[in-house]
Structure formats: C-alpha cells, structure tokens
C-alpha cells in the first residue's frame, strides 16, 4: 500500500493537544478521514479514527459512556472498571474504525502524516496562507495512555 496524498487541517488552538485532522489517500483510490495528529509527551503521534465505546445500564438499559459512574437516565450507580481491558491491563474506551494491522504499516502512515503535518505548519507561517477545507468531526481527543 502506498500513501498517495495526505491533507492536513491544522487545529488553531495552542492549548489543545489535538493539532490537526488529516485525510489520507491510499493507492490513489481509498481515503480514510479523521486521522488526528496529537501532541504527546514524546512528540507528535498519529491517532486512527475511533469511536467511543459505551455499554447499557443493567437497570434501565440506557446507554452510558464506559467511564460514567452513574447512569445518565436513571442515576443507578454503575460498577467501575467495567470496560474491557487490553493486553496491558488498560481500559479500552475507544475502538478504532480503521487502523493498520502491523507495525510496518503504522510506521509508514505515521511518517507520512507527521511529515505532511510539519509541512503544513511551515506553510501556515507564510503570509496569505489558506487552510485546507475539511469537515471537523465533533469528537473528543483520543485518550493518551502511555
Ligand atoms: Zn439506568
């Protein structure tokens, strides 16, 4: 798989760890949107598009975020740590919608996206810079767990 194009929409908020939304075109024929560039403690990294996971209240069946302590609907106390754990014992709160299945592919995407991001940051310093037109999903920043 070759990455043919990366479009980068910078996020203009210095306090935000979310630095950009990207859309990545693979082999000139498949596009993945909502890939994010996040500033972590060890530098920039790329987060795959993901959805928050939820579960249902035992009492009323309403949907709640996995970290909610009480049911949104009936107020019942929800058991803590009910999220599934990954291999390192961390709570799985998000599920990737699209993601690489091996380290080589992850590295390739990461390199291309970060390079495109840094290029866009440079461009944005030029006078008359026009940001890329892109929809910004109304979404939370994925949690950084290290
Ligand atoms: Zn409930």
Q: Which of 12-16, 42-46, 65-69 has the lowest mean pLDDT?
A: 12-16
Q: Which two tokens stand for residue 96?
A: 């990737």
Residues with beta carbon < 5 A to ion ligand 1? 57, 59-60, 62, 71, 73-74, 76
pLDDT > 90? residue 121: yes
Phi, psi of 141 (to 5 degrees): -70, 135
Give distance in angstroms: CA of 70 to centre of ligand 1: 8
Q: For residues 99 and 84, give the distance between their C-alpha atoms in angstroms, rounded to a whole number.
A: 19
**What is the per-residue DSSP string for 48-104?**
--EEE-EEE-TTT--EEETT-SB-TTT-PBPPTT-SPB-TTS-B--EEESS--SSHH
- pLDDT the model gives residue 146: 46
> What does the angle CA 13 – CA 18 – CA 21 come to, to the nearest 5 degrees?
100
For residue 113, the tally of other CB atoms under 10 A from its CB is 23
Give distance in angstroms: CA of 94 to centre of ligand 1: 21
Give distance in angstroms: CA of 69 to centre of ligand 1: 11
Radius of gyration over every alpha carbon of the chain, rounded to an integer in angstroms: 18
pLDDT, tens digit (0-9, with 9 covering 90-100), for 61-114? 999 988 889 999 999 999 888 888 888 888 888 888 999 999 999 999 999 999
pTM of the model: 0.75
């Amino acid at each position: 798989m070759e990455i043919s194009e990366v479009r980068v929409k910078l996020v203009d908020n210095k306090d935000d760890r979310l630095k950009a939304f990207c859309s990545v075109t693979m082999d000139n024929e498949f596009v993945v949107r909502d890939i994010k560039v996040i500033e972590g403690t060890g530098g920039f990294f790329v987060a795959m598009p993901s959805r928050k996971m939820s579960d249902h209240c035992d009492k009323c069946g309403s949907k709640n975020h996995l970290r909610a302590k009480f049911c949104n609907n009936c107020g019942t106390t929800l058991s803590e740590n009910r999220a599934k754990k990954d291999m390192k014992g961390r709570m799985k709160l998000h599920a990737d919608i699209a993601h690489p299945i091996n380290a080589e592919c992850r590295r390739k995407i990461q390199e291309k996206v970060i390079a495109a991001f840094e290029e866009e940051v440079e461009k944005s310093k030029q006078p008359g810079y026009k940001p890329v037109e892109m929809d910004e999903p109304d979404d939370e920043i994925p949690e950084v767990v290290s």
